[in-house]
């Protein structure tokens, strides 16, 4: 212990540092030795060079630094200019547009069926009295091939008004590609372009559809006669506008028969009603309320309706009639009096 005490007193800074340095050196050598052991074992066991790649592979996956090419050496828009031939229609289509084209061409895929259904629905509405169901189907199916051959009123458009593509082309080309160009066309959209329709078609249309012209699109509404977006007032206005003041009003058209309601016809109807005919002939009742309303009530309203259509008075009547049981507008009582 004495020696230690002596050594302690002999401690000064430089000696301390020397000792510290020694300790440090020992530690480092120890670390080096440890590494050598590891390496030697790896070499002996043969796994020392395993994590290196061979020079051939290194060359294959070398980073490429040329213009027009990515770091793997691939060209960016290699397939953009390529054209493929469609097996269905034998047209040459750009590669990037090939998939959507094929979808429409073959008539398969979500969007195509949606378009087709819509076409069928609107064509049925339009052409029900004019052409067969079958013809319509044919028209729908073979839209792609028999462009303008079949009927004068062919739809030639292969662009769905509701597809995203449509808005693009409309933007770029100022709407030239829209369905307005062909006079015999009508669009497949939810609205009908009334300018292209003849009077007969208009009348037919107005008997089944709402027909109110939207301000934004200038098209007629193709929803049902009771569509919630438009009021009866609007519907009446449209009918008056198109078919004149003597136009059969929407109420009258909502019946089972979808025939156009002429003035002459209404007269015949009127006479029939005066005989107290069956309630089927009631043009005033909308289809749903036919059975629900009272007989006498329906009779009264029956009488009112055709009379009105003949006279052309009390324009607001029909609009009020539709779903409400409450009495109609003021002018009505006077007509009541007339009848009674």
Partner 1 sequence: MNKDAQMRATINKKLIETGEQERLKELLRAKLIKCGWKDQLKAHCKNVIKEKGLEHITCSNFDDLVAEITPKGRALVPRLCEEGTFSKNKNFPCSVCQPLR
Query: Which residues sit at the interface with partner 1, rule CB under 8 A?
Result: 1, 3-8, 10-11, 15-17, 19-25, 27-36, 39-40, 43-44, 48-49
Q: Locate all alpha helices (DSSP H) within the chain, ordered by sequence.
A: 2-9, 13-45, 55-60, 98-106, 110-127, 133-141, 164-173, 199-208, 232-243, 250-253, 263-274, 295-311, 316-321, 331-339
Q: How far is the CB of 58 from partner 1 (least distance, A)?
A: 15
Q: How far is the CB of 62 from partner 1 (least distance, A)?
A: 21
Q: How far is the CB of 60 from partner 1 (least distance, A)?
A: 22
Structure-derived torsion over alpha carbons of residues 211, 216, 219, 225, reported in degrees to the nearest 10 = -20
List all residues 6 or more positions away from 101 whose beta carbon is below 8 Å from its beta carbon.
86, 93
Give the nearer residue to partner 1 in terms of CB position, either 9 or 278. 9
Phi and psi at residue 312, in whole multiples of 5°?
85, 10
Give the nearer residue to partner 1 in terms of CB position, either 26 or 259. 26
CB 264 within 8 A of CB 229: no
Residue 270 carries which DSSP code? H
Residue with tokens 């008056």: 240
In angstroms, the CA 330 to CA 55 distance is 100
Give the nearer residue to partner 1 in terms of CB position, either 4 or 337. 4
Q: Which of 100, 211, 90 is nearest to 166 (CA)?
A: 100
Q: How far is the CB of 81 from partner 1 (least distance, A)?
A: 48
CB 210 within 8 A of CB 221: yes
Q: How far is the CB of 72 from partner 1 (least distance, A)?
A: 27
Q: How far is the CB of 28 from partner 1 (least distance, A)?
A: 6
Q: How many CA atoms lie within 13 A of 331 on its CB side?
A: 13
Give the nearer residue to partner 1 in terms of CB position, either 52 or 60. 52
46 dihedral zone (left: phi>0; alpha: psi -120 to 50; beta): left
Q: How far is the CB of 53 from partner 1 (least distance, A)?
A: 13
Q: How far is the CB of 100 from partner 1 (least distance, A)?
A: 53
Adjacent-strand bridge partners of 73: none
Give the nearer residue to partner 1 in terms of CB position, either 42 or 85. 42
Residue with tokens 């007339």: 338
Give the nearer residue to partner 1 in terms of CB position, either 5 or 215. 5
């Amino acid at each position: 212990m004495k020696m230690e005490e002596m050594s302690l007193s002999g401690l000064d800074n430089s000696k301390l540092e020397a000792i510290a340095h020694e300790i440090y050196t020992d530690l480092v050598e120890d670390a080096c030795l440890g590494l050598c052991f590891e390496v030697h074992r790896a070499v002996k066991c043969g796994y020392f060079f395993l994590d290196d790649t061979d020079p051939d592979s290194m060359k294959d996956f070398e980073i490429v630094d040329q213009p027009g090419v990515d770091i793997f050496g691939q060209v960016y828009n290699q397939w953009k200019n390529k054209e493929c031939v469609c097996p269905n229609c034998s047209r040459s289509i750009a590669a990037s547009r090939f998939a959507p084209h094929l979808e429409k061409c073959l008539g398969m895929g979500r969007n195509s069926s949606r378009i087709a259904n819509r076409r069928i629905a609107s064509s049925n509405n339009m052409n029900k009295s004019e052409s067969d169901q079958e013809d319509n189907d044919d028209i729908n199916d073979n839209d792609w091939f028999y462009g303008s051959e079949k009927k004068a009123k062919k739809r030639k458009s292969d662009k769905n008004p509701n597809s995203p593509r449509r808005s693009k082309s409309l933007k770029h080309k100022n709407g030239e590609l829209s369905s307005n160009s062909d006079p015999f066309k009508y669009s497949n959209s939810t609205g009908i372009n009334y300018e292209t329709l003849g009077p007969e078609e208009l009348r037919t249309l107005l008997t089944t559809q709402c027909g109110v012209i939207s301000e934004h699109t200038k098209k007629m509404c193709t929803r049902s006669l009771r569509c919630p977006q438009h009021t009866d007032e609007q519907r009446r206005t449209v009918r008056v506008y198109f078919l004149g003041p003597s136009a059969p009003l929407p109420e009258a058209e909502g019946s089972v028969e979808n025939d156009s309601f002429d003035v002459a016809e209404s007269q015949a109807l009127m006479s029939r009603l005066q005989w107290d005919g069956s309630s089927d002939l009631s043009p005033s009742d909308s289809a749903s309320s036919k059975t629900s309303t009272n007989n006498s009530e329906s009779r009264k309203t029956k009488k009112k309706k055709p009379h009105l259509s003949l006279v052309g008075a009390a324009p607001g009547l029909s609009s009020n009639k539709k779903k409400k049981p409450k009495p109609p507008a003021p002018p009505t009582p006077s007509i009541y009096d007339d009848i009674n």
